Structures are given as C-alpha cells and as structure tokens.
Chains A and B, each alone.
Chain A
C-alpha cells in the first residue's frame, strides 16, 4: 500500500549538469559530501544501489531510471535501523536542469507507505545532504554539520558514561 506522502526539494548549484551527475552517482564523490556515505552501483536499470557507511550497508535500492545528465531514479530501502527496515522501499528521483549559471536540482522522494517514519527522517535529512552537496561543488568544502553534531552526541555520551561510572563507583562503596 502506498501513500501520497511526498518530499520535494529544489536547489540551484553553480556547476554543470555533468559534474552534478557525477557527484550524485560516484561513490568517491558522495563520500565527501554525504557525511561519509558511499554510493555503489553499476547503474544499469534494475541493478542494485548500495549506500555504504563505515563499510556497513546503511541503505539499498534498485535503479529505476538512469538518463545522464538529466534524470536519475532509484528505490530506497533503509537497512541500518530496524524500525525503518520494516517499511517497503520508497522512491527517489533527481532531475537536473541547466538554468543560467547554475543547475536546478529537483529531488522528489515519494511512494512511502502510510504513516511512514522513513518519510519523516528523510524530510529532515535531504536538506542537509543537498546543502552539503551544493557547498562541495561550489566551494570545494562539504558541510561538517553532522560530524559536529555527532561530536556533541559523543561528548554527551562520554559525560553520561562518566556519570554512570561515578554512580556505580558510589554504589560499590
């Protein structure tokens, strides 16, 4: 069963459609702006698409359309989280359109199941990934937001661990 949940995002990037296409389909590029995620596929229609983070497969799907440098579409299944992995694959479509000095990039993520949690997660995630992609292509520097957020989380976790340690040291007394 499908729903009408649809995420649409448009951004304009000062680059060429060919460079943007490469950035979307070449794992050596995605790794640099997609917060360490490497995309892998032979890009034949029907072939597997794999997203790898720290060697583990985080997400996977199947190539639906591959029309360089204009239109790319694949299904999307989240593998890394049990709650998300339960959901059926959704669909991502990229459209690239030259506009003046820039390329208009439209991403449509749809075909979610009703009440999809993946929909909520990707709606928050895409603006970050696409902002980082734009920065990477225009300035050569991807955004470092997630790693810094992760750093904060790691710091909080370290503090929590230290507190747990202190608490258990107290209870042993």
Chain B
C-alpha cells in the first residue's frame, strides 16, 4: 500500500538506552503497551495488510487500522482510526509510523503522525498531548523497568474541533 497523500504533522523523537529489538518488542507487544500506552493492548497481525488494533482495558477498541509497513526492528507503519470517541470515526484515518534506529549506546525512536486532509491544529492537539506522555513512559519502562503514571484526558478543544469537522 502506498501512502503518498499523507503529510507528517506531528513528529516526536526520543533516545532510549536500549536495543532496537527491545524497543521493537515494546512497540508491538501487548504485554508492554499495556504498561505505557494508557493501559491499551496492541493487537498486530505481523504483515503488510494485517490488522492493527489498540484495545482499551475494558475491551473496547480505541484505535484500529491496517499495517502499511512492517520491517522489524526498524519500521512499523499503521493506518490509524480512533474508534472510542464516536465523532472521530468519521474523520479520515491518519498514518502512524515508528522508526527505530540503532546507535552506539542506544536507540533513536521517531514517531510520525501523518494526515491526508487539512487537519486543524485543534484536532492535532490530541496527539501532540498524548505522544510525549506515551513515549516518555515507554522510555522510562525500558530504562528503569517502571512506566510513568500520568493521567490525561482528551483536550476539550480537540473534541469540539472534531464535532465541527464531522457535522
């Protein structure tokens, strides 16, 4: 699947004292994501075209999509549609890509959220708030064995902007 129409809107880079294989496992296995991704479990069919789901602790689907790139331990790209907030189901899906680059002494992890429409900043604010918390917690988990405890709610401005966009 080619994705030429997706334009990167949010990029987050961090460096982790770990190996590419461990970071890859933390990104793609539910046992890890449950600990740092606000309790979400990842379900990933490990091939291009496979299904991708992030499931909430109560069993509801938070996000679902398809695998667009699967190149362990370097690159995972999935389409991303938020399901748990009803209005967000009507938005065009976005594309989330993780790139893992092994360095001497650690790993560079880059998350890119790309969109295929002229998405307002207010809608982007959800990811811009969430990703730093999620990826900071992932880094803590891999380096210290303990994830962070940070509680965040979806920003009001995002929810209002989503309603305007789909009405």
Query: Which A residues lie at the B interface, using CB under 8 A?
Result: 9-14, 99-102, 104, 127-128, 131-132, 134-135, 138-139, 141, 143-145, 147-149, 151-152
Contact = CB atoms under 8 A, between A and B. Distances in A.
B148 A149 contact: no
Contacts of A13: 136
B143 A14 contact: no
Contacts of B149: 100-102
A14 B150 CA distance: 10
Contacts of B144: 14, 138-139
A100 B148 CA distance: 8
B148 A102 contact: yes
Given A12-B132, A12-B148, A148-B103, 5 more contacts: A14-B144, A104-B150, A131-B16, A138-B143, A145-B105
A151 B137 CA distance: 30
Contact of B14 (A14, A131, A147): A131
B39 to A, nearest CB: 14
Contact of A141 (B13, B17, B104): B17
Contact of A143 (B105, B128, B137, B148): B105
Contacts of B14: 11, 127, 131
Given A99-B150, A145-B104, A135 B143 contact: yes
- Overall SS of chain B's interface: mixed
B132 A145 contact: no
Contacts of A145: 15, 103-106
B133 interface: yes
A134 B136 contact: yes
A149 B101 CA distance: 13
A5 to B, nearest CB: 15
A127 B13 contact: yes
A135 B103 CA distance: 16
Q: Which 4 A-B pairs have the closest CB atoms?
A: A148-B104, A10-B132, A131-B15, A12-B136
B140 interface: yes
Interface of B: 13-17, 103-106, 128, 132-133, 136-137, 139-140, 143-144, 146, 148-151
A101 B137 CA distance: 11
A123 to B, nearest CB: 9
Contacts of B17: 135, 139, 141, 143
Contacts of A135: 17, 139, 143
Looking at B15, B103, B137, B151, the one whose CB has the most chain A CB atoms below 10 A away is B15
B132 A11 contact: yes
A151 B105 CA distance: 11
Nearest to A123: B13
A155 B33 CA distance: 38
A128 B105 CA distance: 12
Contacts of A148: 103-105
B108 to A, nearest CB: 8
Contacts of A11: 14, 132, 136
Given A12-B136, A145-B105, A128 B15 contact: yes
Nearest to B15: A131
